[in-house]
Amino acid sequence: MASTANPTRDDFAALLNESLGGADGGFEGRVVKGTVTAIENDMVVIDVGLKSEGRVALREFAAPGMKAELNVGDEVEVYVDRVENSNGEAMLSRDRARREAAWDKLESEFTENARVEGVIFGRVKGGFTVDLDGAVAFLPGSQVDIRPVRDVTPLMDIPQPFQILKMDRRRGNIVVSRRAILEETRAEQRSGLIQTLAEGQIIDGVVKNITDYGAFVDLGGIDGLLHVTDLSYKRINHPSEMINIGDTVRVQIIRINRDTQRISLGMKQLESDPWEGAAAKYPVGAKLSGRVTNITEYGAFVELEPGIEGLVHVSEMSWTKKNVHPGKIVSTSQEVDVIVLEVDAEKRRISLGLKQAISNPWDSFAERHPVGSVVEGEVKNATEFGLFIGLDGDVDGMVHMSDIAWGISGEDALNLHRKGEMVKAIVLDVDVEKERISLGMKQLEKGAPAAGSVGRSGGAGVNKNETVTVTVLEVRDGGLEVQAGDDGVTGFIKRSDLGRDRDEQRPDRFQVGQKFDAMVIGFDRSKKPNFSVKALQIAEEKQAVAQYGSSDSGASLGDILGEALKAKN
């Protein structure tokens, strides 16, 4: 039998467990109740029923920002870390006890998605610390308020509600939000306030924020958007041109979306609409003065009066400048004269013309330079079909390749002139509607037909159905290039017009310099004559038949032509 005079360490452990109610009744890791036996300076002595008392810092009994209110004899709950330390005292913690109790409560509230009350008491990286009745939670900086808050000092050490976003008891992590509470409260206020508003209502508000597309106006707990297009009837590039943050403005409620709780506001609706009676104020054809307010790729906007702008399309900006950017014709803020072309009051559109306010240079040119007059200008451009000549009034005239010189081909004539060269030409035709001026240079050469005959004949001295003697200038596969007379207009005879018979339609039977008669059968687009031997033969045959009888009377065609030939000789 073991002696009890000198008990072993196991015997002491067994006796201690027995005194505490057995192994299941151990104190370590539990929250127990104790009694305050003394308060010594900043430490509180607590008896929890163990052989030794424990000490807890007085500050653990104080709420953040407050002094501890504790007296001897008060009963408190503490957490037992260890039964004894090296000094033989019980290791107790009031904070741990409060934290354990708080976690139990918070888990229940988190499950129910309920609000919790806490106090912001410190700063950490990325946010703040919040005391939730013993449990420490993290408040991210983005969750402090609906809008960024620069100074949170007024919010610290004040009990206020929070929403638990996330919690992990094993890791001891709790994330809370103050913003969620404010948004919920604000939504309730907005819902109540929006019921008191109506479309068309006029109300005062305070400008809270300004963006490129408008301004947000506080209507007393709910914001409305004042779009830049609803600030004024006149063009506004940025809302700051009319309003500033903090201004009190009078607005009209245009639309209310009660589902999204969005409110559209307007200021120009409180003014008279300048478009009323616009059709009467701006009749088509009226000449007006305005200011260029905006320039785009397709034209320029001109303000006729505050709130009314018209568009000058790029095609209506200049008579002579084509395919250029409107910014090269007018500039912003420039005062210009315009003509009203069209008014659509319903669509709030006015079409204006800038070039119509000045004289048409094509009309002016036609008045100053009638057909047959001589003009001088610079070769602006040489193309494969002719030359463009710069003329008075900033207009261009064209000399077709066939009207450059006599006796040579059009391609060779083009090579005689270069860009920038000053030349003289005669006016052949002016088409004001199509803005075209046809010029001729060869008509000014010595021996050329008079300018007046150009207009009458359309082919420099020859007329349709006229019979002329031509000289072969060039033999081609498709026909002959010929010249009327010794020093007249050049023209062409197609292969099929060289004779009635197929054998006669061979160009190679003619030689350069050979002369023969042909009939003028028409003119091409450049007013160059077309000749025909075949047409002349048919015409002479008809004439012979008419004068010397017909084959119906018994005479053969040979007899008739023989008689005609005798008469001609």
Whole-angstrom CA distances from 129 to 137, 143, 174, 519 are 6, 12, 10, 111
Structure tokens at 277: 């009676």
The residue behind tokens 């028409």 is 522
Judge whether residue 24 has pLDDT over 50: no
Whole-angstrom CA distances from 435 to 216, 429, 498 are 54, 11, 38
> Can you give the pLDDT at residue 4?
45
Report how far residue 82's alpha carbon sits from residue 28's, in angstroms, rounded to the nearest whole number. 5
> Can you give the pLDDT at residue 532?
92
Q: pLDDT tens for residues 278-293?
A: 888 888 888 989 999 9
Closest Cα partner for 342 from 388, 372, 311, 300?
311
Mean pLDDT of 52-57: 74
Contact partners, residue 135, CB within 8 Å, separation at least 6: 98, 99, 102, 103, 106, 174
Beta pairing, strands 349-353 & 335-344: antiparallel
Report how far residue 396's alpha carbon sits from residue 388's, in angstroms, rounded to the nearest whole number. 6
Model confidence band, residue 1 (pLDDT cutoffs 50, 70, 90): very low
Q: pLDDT tens for residues 35-54?
A: 878 877 778 787 777 766 77
Structure tokens at 227: 């779009």
Q: Rounded to an integer, what is the distance from CA 84 to the centroid of its chain?
A: 78
Q: pLDDT tens for residues 330-367?
A: 998 899 999 999 998 888 889 999 988 888 888 888 88
Mean pLDDT of 177-198: 79
The values of phi and psi at residue 223, to 5°, are: -100, 145
Closest Cα partner for 37 from 60, 63, 56?
56
Instruction: Give the DSSP H/E element, type plus range, for residue 351.
Output: strand 349-353
Q: pLDDT tens for residues 161-184?
A: 999 999 888 888 889 999 988 888
> Can you give the pLDDT at residue 2?
42
CB of 115 within 8 A of CB of 161? Answer: yes
Name the more confident of 211 and 6: 211
Report how far residue 507's alpha carbon sits from residue 495's, in angstroms, rounded to the nearest whole number. 7
Judge whether residue 551 has pLDDT over 80: no
Contact partners, residue 228, CB within 8 Å, separation at least 6: 212, 213, 214, 236, 238, 239
Counting Cα atoms < 13 Å in the Cβ hemisphere of 305 gives 8
Contact partners, residue 512, CB within 8 Å, separation at least 6: 472, 473, 474, 475
- The one-character DSSP state at 411 is H
> Can you give the pLDDT at residue 341?
92
pTM to 2 decimals? 0.43
CB of 91 within 8 A of CB of 82? Answer: yes
Instruction: Tell me the three state secondary structure of residue 68.
Output: coil
Q: Which residues of 459-472 are buried (b: 16+ CB within 10 A; e: fewer)?
A: bbbbeeebebebbb
Least confident of 271-280, 376-385, 404-413: 404-413
Closest Cα partner for 368 from 433, 440, 427, 449?
427
Judge whether residue 446 has pLDDT over 60: no
Report how far residue 552's alpha carbon sits from residue 569's, in angstroms, rounded to the nearest whole number. 26
Name the more confident of 513 and 445: 513
Angle of CA points 138, 143, 145, to nearest 5°: 130
Model confidence band, residue 562 (pLDDT cutoffs 50, 70, 90): low
Biggest CA–CA distance in the chain, Å, is: 181
Model confidence band, residue 458 (pLDDT cutoffs 50, 70, 90): very low
Residue 272 zone, left/alpha/beta (φ > 0; ψ -120 to 50; rest)? beta
The residue behind tokens 């596969």 is 477
Name the more confident of 42 and 63: 42
Determine what percent of the chain is predicted with pLDDT higher than 90.
11
> Can you give the pLDDT at residue 455?
38
Q: pLDDT tens for residues 479-518?
A: 998 888 777 788 889 988 998 888 888 898 899 889 999 9
Bridge-partner residues for 31, per DSSP? 79
Judge whether residue 305 has pLDDT over 90: no
Q: pLDDT tens for residues 97-149?
A: 777 777 878 888 888 888 888 999 999 998 999 988 778 899 998 888 887 78
Q: pLDDT tens for residues 519-530?
A: 988 776 556 788
Q: pLDDT tens for residues 67-106?
A: 777 777 777 777 776 666 656 567 776 667 777 777 878 8
The values of phi and psi at residue 519, to 5°, are: -110, 140
Report how far residue 315's alpha carbon sits from residue 306's, in angstroms, rounded to the nearest whole number. 25
Contact partners, residue 311, CB within 8 Å, separation at least 6: 299, 300, 301, 302, 349, 350, 351, 352
Mean pLDDT of the chain: 80
Report how far residue 353's alpha carbon sits from residue 362's, in angstroms, rounded to the nearest whole number. 17
Closest Cα partner for 215 from 236, 200, 197?
236
Structure tokens at 235: 């063009």
CB of 525 within 8 A of CB of 507? Answer: no
> Can you give the pLDDT at residue 176?
92
Q: Rounded to an integer, what is the distance from CA 356 to the centroid of its chain?
A: 30
Question: Other CB atoms closer than 10 Å to residue 477's CB: what's the count?
Answer: 7
Judge whether residue 547 has pLDDT over 80: no
> Can you give the pLDDT at residue 221?
74
> Can you give the pLDDT at residue 352?
93
Structure tokens at 72: 């001897």
Model confidence band, residue 5 (pLDDT cutoffs 50, 70, 90): very low
> Can you give the pLDDT at residue 15?
53
Closest Cα partner for 64 from 98, 32, 39?
98
